[in-house]
Structure 1
Amino acid sequence: MSDQRVMIVDDEPPARDRLARLVDGLAGTSVCASIAEAETVVDACRSHQPDVVLLDVEMPGIDGIDLARRLRRLSPPPAVVFVTAFEQYAVDAFELAAVDYLVKPVRAERLARALERARNRPLGPGVTLRSRLGERVLAIPVSEIRALIAEDKYTVVHFDQGEALVDDSLVTLEQRFGRHFIRVHRKALVARRYLRGLYRDADGQERVELDGCNCRPPVSRRNLTLVRQALDDKPETELPE
């Protein structure tokens, strides 16, 4: 799985530097951008495609609350974690569906919990992949996708209503939605939330089972440990919505 990409937004250089050190000290995370000017954040998100934005609330110009509203309109929208010295904004933060709200000075273990929460955040129904069949365009909610399988020049999308083709490569899709999918094979990504089990077929090939899908993608040897870990990490009570 690729690193969780974190963007830091704070107008104070010492605060940005401290958060960057904390993020870099956590396994599986990396800073993709560190930004001081709130006005540039939306364009920077389009360029850097962060998974998470660590967002200061009180900044010159656009404040963090208004900026979070703008970030929600991106596709896909990054997870937002507010980082501020002021607790009075917590209600506004959670009304905006912020993943977490951290009070400065941020402790490493508290940041780690917030980033893990962001990693497990489900995608909203508004985030879609577009499949074109002749003149017909189908918008497939990413939250309903079970598997993405590379075939020739296309990627086959297995979702709850069947199958469709998209032009996007697996590499591109993994970069955009890596926190929601796990690579099980060089030609296959599967949705973490629908991952149900692992078995060996009659030919000795390891395969994954997915909730709500007859597709059984193969698992390569190099990805077998990662799949087992993902299954071990799933809560026993988790069910697809």
Structure 2
Amino acid sequence: MNLLIVDDEGPARERLRRLLEEIGDCTTIAEAGNGEEALAYCSEKQPDIVLLDVRMPGLSGIEVARHIDTLQDPPAVIFTTAYDQYAVEAFETEAVGYLLKPVRKEKLAHALRHAGRISPSRLVKVAQSAKLEHRREQICARLGDQLKLIPIADIYYFLADQKYITVRHKNGESLIDESLKALAEEFSAGFVRIHRNALVAENQISAVERTEEGKYSVRMRECGDVLEVSRRHAAELLRRIRGES
């Protein structure tokens, strides 16, 4: 069994490593000090189980788990957390594996035996119930066996095309396998739906243009792309552009 310990605190990683070595049955025990390192390792080495700290600088444990789930064969995840009433209640409600710090050997052994994959929808519910930020700061695109992180601030728009969504961003285009509806809900504060297949960054709209036939389109500021606006979404777009609540 190959394990990855993810925690920004060295002593916490050392304690888990020592307990895992005492328990045995682990072929490899690797460590990562932040979310980016964890994603890189999971892409390359494909661990069986990830012991993942919930609260870390940068990518949180919840966000890392959501990105990990996009892998072709995602590992099981067990969260580790200092006592937090909201977090504990959220984990219990959603039946998500977790360990309270300082982690005890018998609890760790039990968690390892029952570790499983966690769906994205359950992770969002955990984040909301635990009063954690559930809006991602980055989107994860899969390039072969590698994961590429795209900052939300760098995204111009999302364009749905059958099964996949094209993410147009500062450094080009990437494909992701997500629901445009879910993206619209998650990023409602900064993105606006202009068509059933298009979600655009509000701050990237340089102009809303209208043709003689009464049809609307938006021109994007940095990339210069022009996207069609459907009649159904025109009113909401104009309301948002005007700053109306």
TM-score range (shorter-chain normalised) is 0.3 to 0.5
Q: Scaled by the length of structure 1, what TM-score is found?
A: 0.47
Q: Scaled by the length of structure 2, what TM-score is found?
A: 0.46
